[in-house]
Amino acid sequence: MSHFDWGSGAIVKPNEPKKKNVQIIPAQTDLKRRAVNFVKGFDINLSPEQLEELEMVVQRSSETFVRDIGKDLMDCRRLIIGALGDKTKRGAAVETSSDLAYSVKALGGTFQYPLMTQIAKSMESFVADRTTANEKQLLVIQLHIDSLYVILAGRVTGFGSTVEQATVAALTKLAERYELPRE
């Protein structure tokens, strides 16, 4: 197994000699300046117009997130419902659920939906290393998806109230209860 050698800044594999001749070259001042403002980049001191432009970009990104994740949640829910009636679809439903959970977990907090990140983390843990799921496990996944959709549709930003936090705790306990068997 390889490890990181902090002294040389290199990844060292076993039975491989360490490389000692490492030179760190600091970035040139001109390069630092251009990294902040190159061609159409932003200056360090943003004008009100630049701030407004940045806010618009963030708002558009947030709307895209809501639209795309909303569609993904609906599609995944359809797969889960289809898998409840057809065992041959369960593997694909679990795989899609895993991908969705990872995406929501990674992006929820970025767009001011940390509650979605918490629920997605619970869902991701539940479907991790799973190739299929039984009926009850599919229902647990569906409850996670429904909770994510409600939060998104209601635009519940932040961590929500005690009701939302209780929902996260209940989903986590439900996932723990029906975690086994892992197939």
pLDDT value of position 130: 94
| Mean pLDDT on 34-38 | 54
Q: How many domains does the chain have?
A: 2
Residue 182 lies in a domain: no
Residues ≥6 apart with Cβ < 8 Å to 103? 69, 72, 120
Tell me the torsion sign for CA atoms 11, 12, 14, 15.
positive
117-151 core/surface letters (b: 16 or more CB in 10 A; e: else): bbbbbbbbebbeebebbeeebbebbbbbbebbbeb
Quick: pLDDT tens for 137-176: 999 999 999 999 999 998 888 888 888 889 999 999 999 9
Q: Are residues 89 and 166 in the same domain?
A: yes
Please give the Cα distance from 165 to 73 (Å, whole number): 20
| Mean pLDDT on 94-122 | 93
Give SS3 for 3.
strand
Residue 122 lies in a domain: yes
Comparing 16 with 44, which gets the higher pLDDT? 44
Distances from the Cα of 105 to the Cαs of 19, 90, 94, 111, 161, in angstroms? 38, 22, 16, 11, 19
Q: In terms of pTM, does the model score above 0.75?
A: no
Q: Are residues 64 and 143 in the same domain?
A: yes
Domain that holds residue 20: 3-36
| 36: Cα separation from own chain's centroid | 28
Quick: pLDDT tens for 69-82: 999 999 999 999 99
The per-residue DSSP string of 24-38 comes to --PPPHHHHHHHHSS
Q: Are residues 118 and 143 in the same domain?
A: yes
The share of the chain scoring above pLDDT 70, in percent, equals: 77
Residue 44: pLDDT band by 50, 70, 90 thresholds?
Answer: low
Residue 161 lies in a domain: yes
| Mean pLDDT on 51-70 | 86
Among residues 146, 163, 69, 142, the alpha carbon closest in space to that of 108 is found at 69
Residue 183 lies in a domain: no
**Which of 21-25, 29-33, 39-43, 70-74 ranks highest by mean pLDDT?**
70-74
Residue 43 lies in a domain: no
Q: Are residues 32 and 52 in the same domain?
A: no
Question: What CATH number has the domain bearing residue 114?
Answer: 1.20.120
